[in-house]
């Protein structure tokens, strides 16, 4: 019978399979957050600073999509990427690329919705100043994003938390293939189903530790940034 310590043992002995799993988990979730940030931050800022017909409906929808169930996101991407689906020719089903896409779908609404709220609050604060300074729309967006940069780090972390924690989407589109698409969360699901609960909980501990480390790094980056920016 394995014990939770046997998971620690895997760390201490530098088990290559475990490191491959950890690496893939980070690769998938961080890539997803990076892509989602490139889409979500400009999108959120744009919605915050423009007025158009149906804007409030868009905001409600975006906020609602923060609660998109991972299995639904997984299913949508699965149907798109299946050989019988519209993007089947890519051959991406059961690959890390598919897992990244599914997580982008989950994380983008979180980043966009929170960015929209943050930028809009700042805009209310700075509107008179920016209007008086006669700064154009693009300048306004850049100024506000710049000023919100530390809040944006927290927003990115919220997105990363969502990506790192979910199993529903990546197990559908990745297939939990040993050595290829197995991540921390899908490995935990598998070990649980094999009845190896101590190993599963040990892996869970490692996952939590990794998430803490990523958050600590982001905090350090933020602190350093604040110190430099004064």
Partner 1 sequence: MYSTRHFLLTLAGFIALAPLSLSSAPALAQDKSIVVASTTSTQDSGLFGHILPLFKQKTGIDVKVVAQGTGQALDTARRGDADVVFVHAKSAEQKFLNEGFGVKRYPVMYNDFVLIGPKSDPAGIKGGKDIVKALTTIKEKAAPFISRGDRSGTHVAELNLWKVAGIDIAKEKESKQLGPWYRDIGQGMGAALNTASASNAYVLSDRGTWLSFKNRGDLGIVVEGDKRLFNQYGVMLVNPAKHATVKKDLGQQFIDWLISPEGQKAIADYKINGEQLFYPNAGDPNA
By the criterion CB under 8 A, which residues form the site for partner 1?
1-2, 20, 23-24, 26-27, 30-31, 33-34, 37, 82-85, 88, 91, 93-97, 142-143, 145-147, 149-150, 152-153, 156, 175-181, 190, 192-197, 217-218, 221-222, 225, 228-230
Which of 187, 170, 174 minimizes the C-alpha distance to 19?
187
Least spacing, CB of residue 176 vs partner 1, in Å: 7
**Shortest spacing between CB 195 and partner 1, in angstroms:** 3
Distance in Å, CB of 119 to partner 1, minimum = 13
d(CA 50, CA 108): 19
Task: Give the integer Cα–Cα distance in Å for 127 and 107.
Answer: 29
As given in the structure block, the two tokens for residue 1 are: 């019978």
In the complex, the smallest distance separating the C-beta of residue 34 from partner 1, rounded to whole angstroms, is: 4
Copy the structure tokens of residue 188. Answer: 């935990």
Nearer to partner 1, 208 or 217 (CB): 217
In terms of CB distance, is 11 or 35 closer to partner 1? 35
* Residues contacting 184, CB < 8 A, separation 6+: 21, 22, 25, 164, 203, 206, 207, 210
> Whole-number minimum distance, CB 58 to partner 1, in Å?
24
Q: How far apart are CA 35 and CA 29, in angstroms?
A: 10
Q: 């919100």: which residue's tokens?
A: 148
Q: Which is nearer to partner 1, 59 or 163 (CB)?
A: 163
**Minimum CB distance to partner 1 smaller for 36 or for 47:** 36
CB-wise, 59 or 182, nearer to partner 1? Answer: 182
Residue 66 C-beta: closest distance to partner 1, Å = 20
Q: CA-to-CA distance for 29 and 25, rounded, in angstroms?
A: 6
H-state helical runs in the chain: 4-12, 16-49, 55-65, 70-81, 96-132, 137-147, 149-165, 168-174, 184-193, 197-229
Shortest Cβ 54–partner 1 spacing (Å): 30
Shorter beta-carbon distance to partner 1: residue 58 or 130: 130
**Contact of 151 with 138, CB cutoff 8 Å:** no
Nearer CB in complex with partner 1: 58/190: 190
């Amino acid at each position: 019978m394995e014990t939770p310590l046997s998971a620690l043992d895997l760390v201490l002995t530098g088990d290559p399979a475990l490191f491959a799993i950890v690496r893939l988990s980070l690769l998938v979730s961080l890539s997803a957050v990076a892509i989602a940030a490139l889409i979500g931050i400009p999108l959120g800022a744009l919605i915050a600073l423009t007025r158009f017909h149906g804007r409030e409906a868009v905001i409600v929808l975006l906020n609602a999509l923060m609660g998109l169930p991972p299995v639904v996101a997984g299913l949508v991407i699965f149907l798109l990427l299946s050989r019988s689906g519209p993007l089947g020719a890519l051959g991406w089903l059961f690959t890390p690329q598919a897992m990244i896409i599914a997580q982008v779908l989950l994380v983008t609404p979180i980043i966009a919705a929170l960015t929209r709220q943050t930028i809009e609050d700042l805009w209310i604060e700075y509107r008179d100043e920016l209007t008086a300074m006669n700064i154009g729309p693009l300048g306004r967006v850049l100024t506000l994003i710049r000023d919100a940069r530390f809040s944006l780090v927290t927003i990115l972390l919220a997105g990363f938390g969502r990506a790192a924690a979910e199993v529903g989407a990546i197990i559908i589109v990745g297939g939990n293939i040993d050595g290829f698409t197995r991540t921390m969360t899908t490995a935990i699901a598998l070990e649980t189903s094999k009845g190896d609960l101590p190993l599963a909980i040990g892996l869970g501990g490692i996952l939590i530790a990794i998430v803490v480390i990523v958050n600590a790094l982001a905090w350090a980056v933020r602190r350093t940034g604040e110190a430099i920016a004064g």
